[in-house]
Amino acid sequence: MRAGTYGRVVSSATTRALASRVEVARRRLDATFAGRYANELVELRVIDRALAVASKLFIAVLPISILSTAVVSGNSFGDELVRRFGLTGSGADAARLLFAAPTQVEASIGLLGLVILCSSVLSFSRALERVYLDCWRLPPLASGMGRRLLWLAGFVLVITVLAQARSSWVDPDTPVVQWVLGTLGAGLFFLWTPYLLLGRRIAVRRLVPTAVLTGAGTLALGIGSTIAMPAYISHDTDRYGLVGFTFAIVSWLFVASLLIVGTAALGAMLDRRARGAEDVPPPPDDVD
């Protein structure tokens, strides 16, 4: 046998052995809870889902947050962002420049704008509903408008209460209190949200892991945002101007959406594991 032929045979055998080891490692990973969770995220198309949710957040939740901040607390949303993320320099200047003053926001409120805003928030609730339906492997109900309208009312109430709490009850110089308040608020909100959007088909006690995970994830996101966002926003603003500032906010919304989808999937998996029903295949669904 020639040296070149022998080398190719050895190389082919080595490649097959390596591929076999990789396949064994993959199967072992798939047998673990972490592997099944990773497969669940792939089946859910987590990136597509998070992008869909983030786009709804940007066109629905961000405007209603701006409106509630201006009307309830009388503060500029730009100033709230500066305090929330600890922005300085160009990032703080861009936040104050990009978002209108409270008087301008109140003056621009009109019936058509409110209708469009409510429609956008309902679209966000529909995207959330599809995420939870797929995570819990439930078929959609025939009609969901009543549930979504109720969710819209609850969402507006939560946004209003949080805006009032931040402006009147919480010292802006005590971020720990804000983190605790945000964690509790997120936990309760994401206990009620899937319960309602799933048509009350899942008992509240079974949704507790999802609520706890989302609340803990919100706390981690809040602490991480305080550390990373000031430099990130300032860097993008210095480099690209207001477009860079907007891109940084959209990126943060995408991370928050990944958190929502990821904790929803993990909470549902923990419930199936506790009930011994992990092998039920998820229903196919389209991303909205």
Same-domain pairing of 24 and 95: no
One-letter amino acid at 150 equals L
Is 236 inside any structural domain?
yes
Same-domain pairing of 65 and 188: yes
Same-domain pairing of 121 and 4: no
Same-domain pairing of 115 and 8: no
Same-domain pairing of 160 and 178: yes
Same-domain pairing of 23 and 110: no
Is 285 inside any structural domain?
no
Same-domain pairing of 219 and 87: yes
Q: How far apart are the C-alpha atoms of 129 and 143, rounded to whole Å?
A: 12
Same-domain pairing of 11 and 49: no
Q: How far apart are the C-alpha atoms of 241 and 25, rounded to whole Å?
A: 47
Model pTM score: 0.82
| Cα 134–chain centre separation | 16
Is 123 inside any structural domain?
yes
Is 60 inside any structural domain?
yes
Same-domain pairing of 103 and 5: no
Is 281 inside any structural domain?
no
Task: List the domain range (segments joined by +) for residue 3.
Answer: 1-30
| Cα 111–chain centre separation | 29
Counting as low any pLDDT under 70, the low residues of the chain are 1-13, 17, 19, 23-26, 29, 72-74, 100-110, 163, 165-175, 277-288
Residue the block writes with tokens 């029903």? 277
Q: 263-275: per-residue pLDDT in tens?
A: 999 999 999 988 8
- Name the H helices within the chain: 3-30, 33-44, 46-56, 62-68, 77-85, 89-98, 102-107, 111-136, 145-164, 175-197, 204-240, 242-275
Q: Give the chain's domain count.
A: 2
Is 280 inside any structural domain?
no
Same-domain pairing of 10 and 143: no
